[in-house]
Structure 1
Amino acid sequence: MAAELTPITDRDVPAVADFLRAHLDHRVPWETTLSAVPWKGGGPNHGFMLRDGRHVVGTLLALYSERLVSGRVERFCNMGSWCVLPDYRSRSILLIKALLAQDGYHFTVLSPDDGPQEILAWLGFRFLDTSAAFVPNLPWPTPPGRMTVSTDPAVIGRTLAGTDLEIYRDHERALAVHHLVVVRGAESCHVMYRVFRHRGVPVYAVVLHVSNPDLLLGAWKPLTRHLLLRRGLVATLAELRIVGHMPPFAFALNDRPKMYRSAALRPDQIDYLYSELACVPW
């Protein structure tokens, strides 16, 4: 069926949000997610959409950011929700081709469904290593004074500095992530995580960012104790490429597939910040 391909502009956000609420996930605050990206440096659009007359019939969302990588400013485009009505599926490929036609970006897809993975591989995307550890959160006894865990924004703000503080400020209002800081003496580690829910019930934490993997190596007991007793989360999932080591008492497994396309960056230069994992609370 005929459909017009156009970028998603600010004025299109309400119609796109209504479409995604009706056809993808009614629980996600799509309008806020699209219009209130918490960091600076927005991109040229919110992604691309298909319209049939006045009706939205397909979308491919995008989140843009500029990052300093190895001393150079690099531009990233994180591909978000890809939803097309059945009668228009033959035109789905137009959405991603339009996104990829934008020059000068490194592209990430951090929650690809099984079907699109083959299409993305054909378009030059590669899989990241998502080897992970699944750590039971247990009520470990913690010696007083040795290490503290805080979620207080004031404590986090005065503890972090430099790039770590900038990353925290950029994600402080992101809808899908939680922040905490682990402190030992003069050292600190910022941990950013989202919560996996089953039928609306919080089950386990999914680590997205760790600022100091070396400190975290000795902080798993107080960290997981905090997540259990303060958040009611029974386990923590952490990819090894993020935390840098296998935590004690962990089970090895693989996280969900994640993909990227870049002509210049290595897999270890790709992270999960400034992405839908931080902004979309599904």
Structure 2
Amino acid sequence: MVDEPTGVALAPITDNDVRAVAAFLHEHLNRRLSPAEWARCAVPPWDVDAPNHGFMLRQGGEVVGAYLAFYSERADGDRTRRMCNLAAWCVLDEHRGHGLRMVRALLRQSGYEFVDLSPSGNVVELNKRLGFESLDTATSMVPNLPLASRRGVRLVTAPCAIEALLTGTELSVYRDHRGAAAALHFVVKVDGDICYVIARRDRRRGLPLFASLLYVSDPVVLARAGHAPYRHLLLRHRALVTLVERRVVGRRPKLSWEQHSPRPKMFRSGQVPARSIDYLYSELTCVPW
């Protein structure tokens, strides 16, 4: 679809477009990721019948805007819900007026529930006007201290060992995400009970000193593990602080304090309640900002 006065064309991002879009995102959104890394991030590792990888804008054959999207199919009782995660969004300043065309194209896709897990600036207000609601992202900050683990607590990080421990839904989640570029996997064992955790490295104020917990299969077991998971994130991944959302872990961890202004996350759905929204199958697991 071409805007005749400007010659800016809107089109879905296909497999053949990923390299050009990746080069654009490297140049204009985040140079910390190479074009090859952006290309890897744009195509998730899980199997899904996705209609596209998002939408893009071209003018004269050159990419001038892109909005990545990650699709998934999630089991919800006896039915399957189709999810679309609105991810990295970048438009050249001179074409910013066309950015909304990509948003509308994504939201016009029928049969999907939508999440936006990293809206910033004016995007939050735009999302509200488009029918998005805010998730409760109340967050605690845990200092990752090198405290000794208590007896009976062990962390498992080897891929083959993780796979051997997991069953059912957790095993499916692990297999779907083990190739995701931003996902850090480990299993916490406490006196024979296990909790599968997916975390990611994060930046705040440009500093790569943080981790976030994205998925916790058993918050009770995680709490029983004490400080061991946070010690692991310090020693293995060099994260000084872990950001822990209440909706992910339940109760606030010990040795933590509340974050005053947690980052917003939003969703738009006529059927899925906020409590059913998680951070799997999303840019948070795929894009290591």
| Bucket of the pairwise TM-score, normalised by the shorter protein | over 0.9
The yes-or-no answer on 1:76 pairing with 2:83 is: yes
Q: Is the 8 A contact 2:141 2:258 kept in 1?
A: yes
- Residues 13-28 of structure 1: pairs in structure 2 closer than 5 A: 13-28=18-33
Residue 66 of structure 2: aligned partner: 59
Equivalent of 1:217 in 223, 226, 234? 223
Residue 101 of structure 2: aligned partner: 94
- Residues 3-42 of structure 1: pairs in structure 2 closer than 5 A: 3-28=8-33, 29-35=37-43, 37-42=44-49
Between the aligned partners of 1:86 and 1:111, the Cα distance in structure 2 is 20
Q: Is the 8 A contact 2:183 2:286 kept in 1?
A: yes
Between the aligned partners of 2:268 and 2:29, the Cα distance in structure 1 is 25
SS at match of 1:245: coil
Deviation at residue 199 of structure 1 after TM alignment? 8.7
Equivalent of 2:129 in 122, 134, 139? 122
**Percent of aligned pairs with the same residue?**
46
Between the aligned partners of 1:257 and 1:210, the Cα distance in structure 2 is 20
Q: Is the 8 A contact 2:186 2:198 kept in 1?
A: yes
Residue 241 of structure 1: aligned partner: 247
Residue 252 of structure 1: aligned partner: 258
Between the aligned partners of 1:118 and 1:38, the Cα distance in structure 2 is 31
Between the aligned partners of 1:232 and 1:48, the Cα distance in structure 2 is 35
Compute the TM-score of the two structures, normalised by the length of structure 2: 0.93
- Residues 167-182 of structure 1: pairs in structure 2 closer than 5 A: 167-182=173-188
Deviating above 6 A after TM superposition, structure 1's stretches of 4 or more consecutive aligned residues are: 198-201
Between the aligned partners of 1:220 and 1:232, the Cα distance in structure 2 is 19
Between the aligned partners of 1:98 and 1:234, the Cα distance in structure 2 is 40
Give deviations 1:7-58, integer Å, cap 9, x for gaps. 11111111111111111112221111123x1101141001111111211111
Between the aligned partners of 1:128 and 1:271, the Cα distance in structure 2 is 10
Deviation at residue 177 of structure 1 after TM alignment? 1.2
SS at match of 1:220: coil
Compute the TM-score of the two structures, normalised by the length of structure 1: 0.95
Between the aligned partners of 1:88 and 1:261, the Cα distance in structure 2 is 26
- CA RMSD of the aligned region, Å? 1.5
Deviation at residue 2 of structure 1 after TM alignment? 3.0
Residue 3 of structure 2: aligned partner: none
Deviation at residue 200 of structure 1 after TM alignment? 7.9
- Residues 146-157 of structure 1: pairs in structure 2 closer than 5 A: 146-157=152-163
